[in-house]
């Protein structure tokens, strides 16, 4: 069914078989979960898959032994594989799985030894713990210049509103980016446990990604502890925004892989509708998808820090564009009214907003390309 993986790399054969057995059940349950408005149980996914997602979001010292299914892969390769599989099964529900997720990357970048131990020990004690990553705000998204949720360092309290926060409705802990002073150096990150006095979680009714637990977090003078403020041991330039950027860079490659998985699922649905004859449009999309899969797999394997360079922008922009093209093709086709296709089309549309929109990625790609060639030394991505 999913031979795209083993055709990329022979080491992926066992993972392909594991997921191949589970995918139909996950998808059927996902469609049902969306219809009745409940999150999908992690038990629907293979246990090895969920355990690897939890462990990979933590530093090595907190991880359990890796499943034999995934042995031999680097962290970057495994992250790309898990994101592809998640997108292939159900991108929205994958985002609600347990784990430190984006907050894990932020705490790794910004937390001191004690903070890291306190944060990651949660998953050692209870691997089913869910987390949120609070950056996006109404009106200006992830624009750091306009970030307006405030941290008062005098009385140690936070106030403001975060919106479109994935897994928020299920999370019991996470990282919140806040402003303690004007300017980019005034951005800080704090640990926040939920529920807590003054913090209201409001579920959002979305067009797509409806099972992703997206919510709005309203904070009204929420008290935090001094040891909840991350990055105090770091130079001022690395206390807040730097950690946010590092997190987005790491996750960008995973969004690319997730888009690839979701697009591949849609392509199979369309092709399955007329297996004897692949029409020219399906064929073109399949050829593009195969090329993208090779590009993502190569980048995931080559980049030491999980794709922290311009290649992650290239992969994200190209894969989301491709998945969107397939969503349009599949949605408009004769199978567009099937529940699974309908859901995947709406979910794929939401991938554009994750870890930087396409316009932002294209600016990064162009800036890098022009700089490398010395065409423009003054050009900067917005």
Partner 1 sequence: MIASELESLLDDVSRHLSARDAGASSVLSLGTTLDAIGDIRQRVELCGAFDSAQAPSEAERRVALECLIRIVHLGGAEFYSAQRTASLFAKILRHDR
The contact set with partner 1 (CB under 8 A) reads: 136, 138-141, 143, 146, 163-164, 204-208, 214, 324, 327-329, 331-334, 336-337, 341-342, 345-346, 349-350, 352-353, 357-360, 363, 382
Q: What does the block give as tokens for 351?
A: 């991938």
Q: Count of alpha carbons within 13 Å of 352, Cβ hemisphere only?
A: 15
- Report the interhelical angle of 101-110 vs 113-125 (nearest 10°): 150
User: Based on CB atoms, which residue is closest to partner 1, 228 or 352?
Assistant: 352
User: Based on CB atoms, which residue is closest to partner 1, 79 or 360?
Assistant: 360
For residues 27 and 94, is the Cβ–Cβ distance under 8 A?
no
Residue with tokens 């360092």: 153
Least separation in angstroms between residue 340's CB and partner 1 is 12
Q: What does the block give as tokens for 86?
A: 């998640």
Residue with tokens 């992969």: 315
User: Based on CB atoms, which residue is closest to partner 1, 96 or 333?
Assistant: 333
User: Based on CB atoms, which residue is closest to partner 1, 198 or 336?
Assistant: 336
User: Based on CB atoms, which residue is closest to partner 1, 112 or 368?
Assistant: 368
- Report the interhelical angle of 310-332 vs 241-273 (nearest 10°): 30
Least separation in angstroms between residue 350's CB and partner 1 is 6
Least separation in angstroms between residue 286's CB and partner 1 is 18
Least separation in angstroms between residue 84's CB and partner 1 is 22
Least separation in angstroms between residue 120's CB and partner 1 is 30
User: Based on CB atoms, which residue is closest to partner 1, 1 or 332?
Assistant: 332
Please measure the distance between the N-terminal and C-terminal CA atoms of the chain and give it in whole angstroms. Answer: 42
* Gap between the Cα atoms of 180 and 226, Å rounded: 13
Residue with tokens 């080559």: 302
User: Based on CB atoms, which residue is closest to partner 1, 90 or 325?
Assistant: 325
Least separation in angstroms between residue 321's CB and partner 1 is 10
Q: What does the block give as tokens for 141?
A: 């998204």
Collapsing DSSP states into helix, strand and coil, what is residue 101?
Answer: helix
CB atoms within 10 A of CB 131: 27
Least separation in angstroms between residue 347's CB and partner 1 is 11
User: Based on CB atoms, which residue is closest to partner 1, 104 or 208?
Assistant: 208
Least separation in angstroms between residue 349's CB and partner 1 is 6
Least separation in angstroms between residue 205's CB and partner 1 is 7
User: Based on CB atoms, which residue is closest to partner 1, 93 or 303?
Assistant: 93
Spatial CA neighbour of 85 closest among 32, 142, 19: 19
102, containing H or E segment: helix 101-110
* Gap between the Cα atoms of 12 and 7, Å rounded: 9
CB atoms within 10 A of CB 248: 22
Please report, for residues 147, 148, 205, the alpha-carbon distance to residue 160 in angstroms, rounded to integers and kept in the order given.
10, 7, 20
User: Based on CB atoms, which residue is closest to partner 1, 32 or 143?
Assistant: 143
Strands 131-134 and 173-179: parallel
**Prior bond to 149 cis, omega within 30?**
no
Please report, for residues 106, 176, 188, 359, the alpha-carbon distance to residue 111 in angstroms, rounded to integers and kept in the order given.
8, 13, 11, 31
């Amino acid at each position: 069914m999913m031979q795209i993986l083993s055709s990329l790399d022979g080491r992926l054969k066992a993972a392909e078989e594991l997921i191949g057995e589970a995918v139909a059940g996950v998808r059927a349950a996902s469609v049902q979960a969306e219809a009745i408005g409940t999150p999908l149980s992690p038990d629907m996914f293979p246990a090895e898959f969920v355990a690897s997602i939890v462990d990979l979001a933590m530093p090595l010292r907190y991880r359990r032994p890796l499943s034999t299914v995934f042995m031999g892969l680097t962290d970057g390769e495994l992250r790309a594989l898990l994101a592809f599989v998640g997108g292939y099964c159900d991108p929205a529900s994958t985002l609600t799985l347990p784990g430190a997720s984006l907050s894990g990357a932020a705490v790794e970048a910004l937390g001191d030894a004690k903070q890291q131990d306190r944060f990651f020990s949660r998953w050692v004690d209870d691997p089913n713990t869910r987390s949120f990553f609070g950056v996006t705000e109404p009106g200006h998204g992830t624009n750091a210049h306009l970030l307006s949720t405030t941290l008062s360092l005098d009385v140690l309290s936070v106030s403001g509103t975060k919106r479109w926060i994935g897994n928020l409705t299920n999370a019991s802990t996470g990282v919140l980016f806040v402003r303690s002073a004007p300017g980019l150096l005034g951005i800080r990150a704090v640990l926040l446990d939920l529920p807590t006095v003054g913090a209201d979680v409001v579920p959002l009714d979305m067009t797509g990604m409806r099972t992703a637990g997206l919510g709005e977090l309203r904070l009204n003078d929420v008290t935090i502890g001094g040891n909840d403020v991350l990055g105090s041991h770091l130079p001022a330039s690395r206390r807040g925004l730097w950690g946010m950027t590092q997190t987005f860079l790491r996750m960008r490659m995973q969004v690319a892989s997730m888009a690839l998985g979701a697009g591949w699922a849609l392509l199979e649905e369309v092709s399955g509708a007329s297996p004897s004859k692949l029409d020219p449009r399906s064929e073109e999309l399949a050829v593009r998808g195969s090329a993208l899969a090779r590009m993502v797999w190569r980048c995931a394997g080559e980049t030491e820090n999980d794709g922290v360079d311009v290649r992650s922008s290239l992969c994200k922009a190209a894969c989301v564009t491709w998945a969107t093209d397939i969503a349009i093709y599949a949605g408009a086709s004769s199978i567009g009214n099937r529940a699974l296709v309908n859901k995947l089309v709406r979910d794929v549309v939401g991938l554009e907003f994750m870890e930087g929109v396409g316009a932002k990625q294209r600016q990064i790609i162009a800036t890098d390309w022009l700089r490398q060639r010395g065409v423009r030394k003054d050009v900067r991505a917005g």
